[in-house]
Amino acid sequence: MAIREIVTPPNPTLRQRAQKVHRITPEIAQLIDDLVETMRVAPGVGLAAPQIDVGLRVIVVEYAEGSEDEDAPEKPPKLYAVINPEITRTSKDRVLGNEACLSLPGYFGEVERYERVTVKGLNRHGQDFKLKAKGWLARIFQHEIDHIEGILYIDRATQVWRIEEQEDEELPAPV
């Protein structure tokens, strides 16, 4: 495993639609491991291959159920590695929420996203992956899937602002 550099604009890979993965090779397994390690060190809750300058449709997400609810007992985070992810179903309900991004350090924005989504793709072993996600987990998946489409959250944001150091503690982890 290796910690990779997270790229920022104007790196062109961030704005290009990533290529579909046709075979799961040892290089793809290594890419997943590198994404996980890089995401954790950053730290963030999600990372897409284009964010480390790799134009492939691979994302990782690590999320602890109930982590946004201070009164809920903390559960261990669950790690998702998804190859060729796509959103196959969305709720009608949309919600505004705050987002940050490891590729746009120092900025924060308000983005409208679907409250619930169904995501499908392949896991790291090439097996079918399907997940019904809601709330913050749904937001993370939408954010990461946008990355493989060449879309940054600022493209969807109703507001974007610079993070002030004193605000830092109140913000959710970047995705």
Query: Known catalytic residues?
Result: 144
Chain centre to alpha carbon of residue 26 = 22
* C-alpha closest to that of 175 among 118, 104, 87: 104
Q: Which residue has the tokens 């559960």?
A: 75
Chain centre to alpha carbon of residue 65 = 16
- The residues near 97 (Cβ < 8 Å, ≥ 6 apart) are 110, 111, 112, 113, 136, 139
Question: Hey, what are 141's tokens?
Answer: 């998946």
**Residue 90: CB atoms within 10 Å:** 15
- Three-state SS at 76: coil
Question: Hey, what are 27's tokens?
Answer: 């290089």
